[in-house]
Chain A
Amino acid sequence: MSALVRALRADPELGPCIERWHTVQARPGRSTELPDALHPDLRRLLAERGLDELHAHQAEAVELALAGRDVLVATPTASGKTLAYTLPVLQALLETDGAARALWMFPTKALSQDQSTSLNALLAALDRDWHSFTYDGDTPPSVRRTLRDRGHVVLTNPWMLHQGILPNHGKWASLFRDLRYVVIDEVHTLSGVFGSSVANVLRRLVRLARHYGGDPRFLLSSATLREPGSHGERLLGRPVSVVTEDAAPAGEKVFALYNPPLLNPVAGMRANALEEARRLARHVVGPSHQTIFFCNRRTSVEVLTRYLKESAHDLGLRPEEIRGYRGGYLPLLRREIESGLRDGSVRVVVSTNALELGIDVGRLDVAVLVGYPGSQAAFWQRAGRVGRRGGTSLAVLIARSDPVDQFLARHPEHLFGAPRETLGIDPDNLVILSEQLKCAAFELPFRAGDDGAPGDFGRSPHLAGILDYLSEESGFLHRRSDTWYWMADAYPAQDVTLFGNEPDNVLVFDAESDKAIGEIDREGSITTVHDGAIYQVEGETWKVETFDYENRRAYARRVKSDYFTEAETDTDVRVLRLEEKRARARGGSDDEDYAVYRGEVHVTTVATLYKKIRFYTRESVGAEDIHLPPEELDTEAFSLTLSPASAEELGLAGGDRAAGWRGVGRLLRRVAPLFLRCQPSDLGLSTEIRSRHFGRPALHLYDRVMGGVGLSGALFRDHRDVLAAALEVVAACACERGCPGCVGTVEEVGPRGKATAQRVLEHLAEGPAPTAATLAPEE
């Protein structure tokens, strides 16, 4: 491996593209004796597996769990988290002679199958009549009953818990009564609407367990996180003990940040990352080690796999030693590839994030990340796939022409330092909370406490009000003195998804066969399936004939189109209520320079027209109007305003300079994921050169989820970091007048856009941070 690294460094073509090398030294690891309280049978079990000691962090987690605490272990992949939550569960079984029950929850089905196998091996070694079962959509009805009655450990996923187990808790009475532990793996995936919904599912779970007299403890595991404790607390609604030190021994790890060569410096265009991955394969693929490539898209996996198989011979491999891996492959095929990776018969695998989570494929030698995966946690999960004890491993990140990738190519310390991302999660989002309250009321009536509110569902001040709304207006519930009962002929969990507004999604049909060909969310529909839109699926083009807006259906016909369509929208952000403000004064005066706000907004988006743009040449071949009702969204926003005086000083005025202000907004949105776990598309953007509400330049970044899930609050707190990163990107970008890697192309921001944006960002990012300010009455 060291030779491989040396050869890569010395390569005259590829070597210079590696902007940064970063080496993490080998580390011996720190072990501790087995905790005193550990049951003798478990000591024997561990000894049989050659474990006389535990890693220090495993021992710490086990001790905390045995002391009755809720624990979150936030350490990198393959640091032995599974053992840390398995031991307390087994201990509980031993102590209660098999009476205790545990529920394990995994974010994907494949993971629960994987874990079930290894857990059953441990249970078998204990030689009691104890069993673990996987309960998911594939569990045949005939065995469900046995499983409910005899499963000591039930492995499942959030969807099954939400729609299958909780609403039918009578069938699971013994599980809830004796529930000692709830284990949740990979909790860093629980953010946004999904995480906020799952937090409510956990409230429901605890409520039911209490009803049956159970009082489970939670054992959580996650990738390394910023503020893991607060994430755990938001998920569970109570404090958790956090273990973050990874005390497992590790070999030397070399990281390389590869920035593809600039093909067109004026336009800031770099070579394609997938192409570069293929060039790198010369060095990083070979018969003497195992390599994993991570792509961000399924199609890229297929393309790269084909490339590599075609050149297998030159790489010293047989084509069958190179495999693709992604969701959508049949389970059996996936199992075969996984075991091929473990036994070494597969030397190269090209994967999507499907191999990012904890499926056991053994430790590999080289990881190549084709593009930044969008979050630090995902980066470390992917890079964590490599590294054998006592050897060197290599992880290469290929940067794309994207602001975040470009920032990281120059600032690897952002990745290697302390975790920087905040997870956006808000279990008390009114939409999510009210939908989940429906499900919860179906499961058990709510009873008001002395203060008039139910005390068993978090601390939102609106609980009683929402329950009254669901009774008086929606008619789902019936209030009888101090109790709210479910009172409808319906099964709410069936209609409530964990991902948000799916019932509002638009289905796209083949107008000829009436078969569904796709689905699109509510917000996206007005710009992608309007009449005349070219709708693309897997490389095929369909022309939308009619969009039946009322009935959420679009009908399209397959055509050979040489153009695609791009819709333009007008977005209007109306400020409803501001909750918090910070402001900075202009140098040497009391006058305001710039201010940031956090508050509630109403967003109206109208699709105005669409352009027909030729593939490849991007030449515009016409435009048509769109006639559709506006999309309305009530959410939370982060707003930034610039005082008229500062705006004037910076040369920010109407006309094409307003495009510079738009460029600032666009760049902030693109770099926000450095500090916030989200996709840029999770954030809506509106920029105004003269805001109706503020009477000055304003930009709003809003949560594109009804009611918001905490993204704007995190932006408000961390906006200085976001500004600094944005400035850094635009200042270091090689392009002349804007490119996709910074503020946007010159067509989008105009000839002076980049310069204006840079000037504004310099002004905002430099100088003192704004301080808390009182909101003026007119604000």
Chain B
Amino acid sequence: MAVPSDDALFARLRRLRREPPPDAEDAQADAPGEAGASEPAEADVPIWLRRRMQARRRLGFAEEVDPTPSAPVSLEPPARLREERTDAGDYALRLDERGRDAEHGAVRLDEVAAVAPDAYRRFARDGGLDAIDLGRAVYLDIETTGLSGGAGTYPFLVALGRFTDGGFEVWQGFLRSPDEEPAMLHAAAERIGAASAIVSFFGKSFDRHRLEDKMRLHGVEPPFEGRPHLDLYHPCARLYRDGFPDGRLCTMERELCGVRREDDLPGAYAPAAWFDFLAGRPHRLEAVFRHNLDDVLSLVTLAAHLGRVAEETSADGQALPGPAGLRALGLARLAADRGERDEALLWIERAIQRLDGPLRGPRTLRADLRRLTGDHERARGDYEALAEEAVDEHAVHALLQLAKDAEHRRRDLPAAAALCARARVLLEEGCTGRGYARHRRDLEKRAERLRTKLDRS
């Protein structure tokens, strides 16, 4: 069969795939009354993106109105790129060096190097962070062409920061073309492999896997297994999740480290910047490089902040930036999870002092901690107050604890049964969802047992 010319094939593909020719869609987008008229930018984006935007509108999503980025565009390749030639091929990199005492926001970079190696263990669920020297760690952040992962997602910019003898150095490996990926990943793997630990923000869930998948694809041994990895996202979320509107890095760095970024290019623009660069269109890669660099510097300062939080267990943490009351609550929860009840009690007392409001959650935690440390007298008082004040899950929990107390410590079975019955009423009035089901199971079992016991006596 003769191969038809591209024109004929393109026309046929358009028909079969139900894709109108590009000019027809432009005309449609310009037509008055069409949604496209108010969004001239849409005519320039590829069909797949346009379709996706249309589909989102169809499903009733409000279009995210991103402000047009203020970062300038350029046709030049990013500045200060150095070409590296390796056995695995070529790639480009940029080095940024600054003093160890340089400030990022309100924090000096080398503050992190002063944190004791065992400071971070309180933030980890596993034992992997018992001793981690952040002065010898690598600070990792990558820019990719998408968040969904998979083999077609390129980590086109990989930043790795580390302390050197004289200062702090950020290595940014960059793909000038997709086929430079193996060489760049080789170099990145070597650098990561030379460090004693990894620090990232959400990197355990994202950056690590994007790199690992791509490294395996190119036959590069991934350097992550067995290397301590401090992912700052989780401790930040645990300490401050109720205090900030979201848990993103830019929020944390602003609130906790005083970082103000100017003309920052939001990460969502990164893929388009690289696609534009590859296609020879004007692009905003310079801003992506800076965003990526700033991210790495923020990792250092945020890690320093956490280090200080960790070291301040005995002192008063109020000297640190950020909401001290929420932090105290977070530290109390972390300590309670680890079973360190005395420390947890210390922090929950501070949290209750510093926070305003009914504080039913924190006060329930304090009552539980008092009970568990043998202070039954005060725990009972706490639970009674919690049961009186409101109709909610905490009240049900408090009544349940009082019922247990009556049954096992005060040996007053009728009182225990009465408390159970009261809890049951509150449960129906004040609880929903998972809490409801759990409490109900507990209550029914307990009431049943009490009935049997009462019958026997």
Contact = CB atoms under 8 A, between A and B. Distances in A.
Partners in one complex: yes
A489 B145 contact: yes
A152 B22 CA distance: 48
A474 B151 contact: no
B15 A465 contact: no
Contacts of B152: 167, 441-443, 486, 488, 491-492
Contacts of B149: 168, 491
Given A168-B150, A491-B146, A491-B150, A469 B46 contact: no
A473 B16 contact: no
Interface string B11-23: 0111111110110
Interface stretch (B2-10, B313-321, B433-441): B2-10
Contact of B213 (A168, A434, A474): A168
A169 B217 contact: yes
A474 B19 CA distance: 9
Contacts of A169: 151, 217
Contact of A485 (B14, B19, B178): B178
Interface string B266-307: 000001100100110000000000000000000000000000
A461 B46 CA distance: 26
B146 A490 contact: yes
Contacts of B47: 473-475
Contacts of B453: none
Nearest to B45: A475
A478 B279 contact: yes
A352 B178 CA distance: 50
Contact of A170 (B1, B13, B216): B216
A146 interface: no
Given A443-B151, A473-B47, A480 B15 contact: no
B49 interface: yes
A223 to B, nearest CB: 32
A695 to B, nearest CB: 26
Contacts of B178: 445, 478, 480, 483, 485, 487
Output the residue of A168, A170, A441, A493 with the most chain B CB within 10 A: A170
Contacts of B214: 170
A685 B148 CA distance: 43
Contacts of B4: 462, 465
A431 B17 CA distance: 6
Interface in A163-187: 167-171, 173
B342 interface: no
B125 interface: no
A466 B6 CA distance: 9
Nearest to B218: A170
Interface string A461-484: 110011011001111101010010
Nearest to A486: B152
A478 B145 CA distance: 13
A707 interface: yes
Contacts, number: 126
A551 interface: yes
Nearest to A476: B48
Nearest to B275: A487
A488 B278 contact: no
A167 B150 contact: yes
Contact of B15 (A469, A488, A493, A634): A634
Contacts of B271: 489
How many A residues are at the interface, by size bracket? 35 or more
A707 B16 contact: yes
Interface in B48-65: 48-49, 52, 58
A162 B3 CA distance: 29
Output the residue of B48, B145, B179, B215 with the most chain A CB within 10 A: B48
Contacts of B46: 474-476, 488
Contacts of B58: 551-552
Contact of A489 (B1, B10, B146, B217): B146
A38 interface: no
A171 B6 contact: no
A168 B179 contact: no
B212 interface: yes
Nearest to A444: B151
A706 interface: yes
Contacts of B179: 445, 480, 483
A474 B48 contact: yes
B145 A468 contact: no
Contact of B151 (A170, A488, A552): A170
B432 interface: no
Contact of B9 (A167, A466, A478): A466
Contacts of B272: 489
Interface string A421-459: 000000000110010000001111100000000000000
Contacts of A551: 58
B216 A462 contact: no
Contact of A706 (B16, B21, B49): B16
A706 B151 CA distance: 29
Contacts of B38: none
A171 B3 contact: no
Nearest to A464: B3
Interface in A479-515: 480, 483, 485-494, 504
A475 B49 contact: yes
A55 to B, nearest CB: 42
A483 B148 CA distance: 23
Contacts of B49: 475, 488-489
A492 B145 CA distance: 14
A442 B150 contact: yes
Contact of A469 (B13, B147, B212): B13
Given A443-B152, A474-B48, A465 B146 contact: no
Contacts of A491: 146, 148-150, 152
Contacts of B212: 170
Contacts of A504: 18
Contacts of B164: none
Contacts of A483: 178-179
A346 B16 CA distance: 51
B279 A490 contact: no
A488 B213 contact: no
B177 interface: yes
A465 B150 contact: no
Contacts of A167: 150-152
A430 B13 contact: yes
B17 A434 contact: yes
A465 B213 contact: no
A443 B58 CA distance: 29
Output the residue of B46, B58, B149, B278 with the most chain A CB within 10 A: B46
B16 A478 contact: no
B48 A168 contact: no
Interface of B: 1-4, 6, 9-10, 12-19, 21-22, 45-49, 52, 58, 145-152, 177-179, 212-217, 271-272, 275, 278-279
10 contacts: A167-B150, A170-B215, A171-B213, A442-B151, A461-B1, A474-B46, A478-B275, A486-B152, A634-B12, A706-B17
Given A461-B3, A475-B47, 7 more contacts: A442-B150, A442-B151, A465-B4, A466-B9, A478-B275, A487-B278, A490-B146
Among all A-B residue pairs, the 10 with the closest Cβ atoms: A475-B46, A170-B213, A442-B152, A486-B152, A173-B216, A167-B150, A489-B146, A491-B148, A170-B217, A465-B9
